[in-house]
Structure 1
């Protein structure tokens, strides 16, 4: 809808996080907190989204990209002062402005939309998002008048004993009539111990001016909780993980033990995929339907096709086709591509390599900078020797080639289609198609020579 604007406050340093990383850049389920808020706001169809930045402005801007316009608050003088940074863009415009926070990653676009609709449909000057909690200690209390409208917000330290009994609290999220918001921001004073300009004072000014101010109570208090330290970060992570896992289960994914399964907020998983305990799927990972993943598997920024099995393995920044078998205990390193019906077995490491359709490396093999064709068999203990101490080189293996156990393929080298490399060979020259390559010393047996070595222990 047009004439709706969002201002996200994200200028704080977050000293209680005890971190070099700026607070809003700390991740929840693999995504920075500020990105969670921007992404949810983007689903609310705002005409414009502004992010107020301060500490770590360049890093926060880089995280947001072009999804919102960043405005710099050079001095952090309070929430009202932060909102005023958007005055040049918004003051004098008709419409609705919602104030959000970059450290509330659990907020959803559904809750934002309900708050806006509640304010607009009731033609109110402002609506405060509130929640009812069992222990409101430390929160500002919502005091309503006889009509149910908001009469005032009382901070915990200023509340009377009777007001302290009120369980409805201020979450700090607001929806304003845009013109009225910016007409009053300049009247907010900083007569407080911190010498800062506080946004809730605008609510008080509206009430004093006999404007209609409403309180919209959400049923999801957890969505509104800010993250100020590592304990709250862990709580947000747990809540978000539950939300993400439930979403996937509702879409037809089986999680054997959701509490021990960690899914990125950005991953996608097809129906009928089964994920076993101890699995961590992070980043922009996309998994097709009917797969079996885990247990104890880590997948980051990978694309995986249909009905693939990945067992007790690590996959990073790679592409995997359909009907592939990986693991147990395999490591697929970045920039690898594994085609349909391939097999990467136990204790096999693949680095920046392409494994053709139906090819197999069943166990104890290193494939680095290799290109394998279709239906290649890599014997146990085979190594593509890709590094000479200065440069990396590529090994090319043609369709249907058979590489015997314990072979070293010293790159750059090409093994032709249908070629056969004998077990124990060290190949330094290319092998033509359908040729047999043997590169090992002739065995010599010296009878009774072991007795002269005197290595046996006398008993």
Structure 2
């Protein structure tokens, strides 16, 4: 329930061939920068290198107060709104929204991802049509600074990495002001209640409630 093929339709990202080289999505986090640097010069005439190692599609809209740090790629018809802070190492797909006061760092956003208001997304991969409500964030470093472990019930998966935010599957909906703790994995078509504190694996087609209760949508 937490492999790349479980979570993502790879037809909706420029990172498809890259991601096919891994089993688990967090294994791809270390190489996102190199991926962008490799892809950028190959993107063709529809993209403009607006400054060194920053490629923006000609149909994208980048508002004047947004900051685009290198390296990054901004896809077709995407909006990067006022005050957005792309620190760098961000592969943003087509038809996305990177909203006001949103910060991105070491991320892959599939097509049609929305991070519209006051979101922090770091060391994370957000699947096709996933959406983060206002103020929801990915916490990417544990308080004790130890390596992140993915918890799935009694199963514990050692990731071997220190910085790991969240893996959101396709069509995931995250409510306002929710926090995804380090190592969170949310399966396709699942929902997270507003103001939730989420950790571990949330299965596909489920709802995470405020008290950590998980309900499968088929049981409703």
Separation in structure 1 between the aligned mates of residue 87 and residue 174 of structure 2, nearest angstrom: 22
Structure 1 CA distance for aligned equivalents of residues 112 and 125 of structure 2: 13
Q: Quick check: 362-371 or 389-398, which moved more?
A: 389-398
CA distance, structure 2, for counterparts of residue 309 and residue 402 of structure 1: 24
* Structure with higher RCO (Cα < 8 A, 6+ apart): 2
Structure 1 unaligned spans of 5+? 1-269, 274-284, 288-298, 442-459
From 115, 128, 132, the counterpart of 1:361: 115
CA RMSD in angstroms comes to 2.2
Could you list the runs of 4 or more consecutive aligned residues of structure 1 that deviate by over 6 angstroms after TM superposition? none
Q: List aligned pairs for 1:122-271, cutoff 5 A.
A: none
Counterpart among 430, 433, 444 of residue 201 in structure 2: 430
Query: Equivalent residue of 1:304, what SS?
Result: strand
Q: 1:375 and 2:129 equivalent?
A: yes
Per the alignment, do residues 315 and 300 of structure 1 end up closer, same or farther by CA in structure 2, a change over 3 Å counting? farther
Cα deviations across residues 311-364 of structure 1 (Å, max 9, x unaligned)? 010001211111110011101111110000111010100110111100101111
Deviation at 1:394, TM superposition (A): 3.7
Give distance in 2, aligned partners of 1:394 and 1:440: 21
Question: What does 1:16-165 correspond to in 2, within 5 Å?
Answer: none
Q: TM-score, structure 2 length as denominator?
A: 0.64
In the alignment, which residue of structure 1 is the partner of 2:210? 439
- Partner deviation per Cα, 1:288-308 (whole Å, 9 max, x = no partner): xxxxxxxxxxx6530111310
* In 2, Cα distance between equivalents of 1:381 and 1:365: 5
Q: Match for 1:393 among 157, 164, 180?
A: 164
In 2: Cα distance, 1:354 partner to 1:399 partner: 13
1:331 maps to what in 2? 85
Contact 2:137 2:179 in 1 (8 A): yes
Name the residue aligned to 1:403. 174
Q: CA deviation at 1:430?
A: 1.2
Which sections of structure 2, spanning at least 5 residues, go unmatched?
Answer: 1-44, 146-161, 213-220
Aligned counterpart, 1:384: 138
Which residue is equivalent to 1:310?
A: 62
Of Structure 1 and Structure 2, which has the larger fraction of its residues in strand? 2
**3-state SS of the aligned residue for 1:392?**
coil
> TM-score under structure 1 normalisation?
0.31
Which residue is equivalent to 2:49? 286
- d(CA) in 1 for partners of 2:91, 2:211: 32
